Amino acid sequence: MLVCLDPRRGETDYGEAGLNLAGKEVCLDLAIRIQRKLQNYEGISVTITRSVDGSASAEERSRFANEQKADLFISIHTNTCPDLAATGFTSYVSVIAGLKARRIQCWLHNQIVCFLRNYGIHDMGKKNDTEFIGGHLRELRQVQMPAIALSLFIPPSKQNQLLSDPEFLDRYASCIAEGIARIYGCEQKTGA
């Protein structure tokens, strides 16, 4: 199976990831870590919508995933949220997503939430893209495969602590990769 990882943002769209952290860099770092982890599983290939600091629209990223004929599209987001009541982890699927995408969202979301609880990050729930802060996530609607966005909304102080910690990033990437592998029944390669 082919997983397409989408580190959202790039070039001039810095995004939010806390003080002295650019969301575009954190999302790209996470995507590369997830890519490396997924390569340790049998039957999984990985492609990525950007591997350097480039910029691509939602349409371009969606078209890339469709041209690659990916089986799963995972968009990676980080957001700073000064409102402590609105911080945590959430996942999104398109409001028009089918049952398969919603099942994958549910399984992957639950795996990630269990991991993030150890860091005091609470579950903000599984959502439709229409509940996203900026309206809807066009990339989730335009791809022709199950598509999920994974989003951390964390106060700046905690994001600086976590998202600049290579150990946390590595564990978060492992959690996501392991969740994807479990969903598709892919075993870890011998010696990986």
What was the pLDDT predicted at 35? 97
Q: What is the 3-state secondary structure (H, E, C) of 5-67?
A: EEECCECCECCCCCCCCCHHHHHHHHHHHHHHHHCCECCCEEEECCCCCCCCCHHHHHHHHHH
**Section 97-111 average pLDDT:** 96
Percentage of the chain with pLDDT > 90?
60
| pTM for the full predicted model | 0.88
Going along the chain from its start, the domains and CATH numbers come out as 2-183 (3.40.630.40)
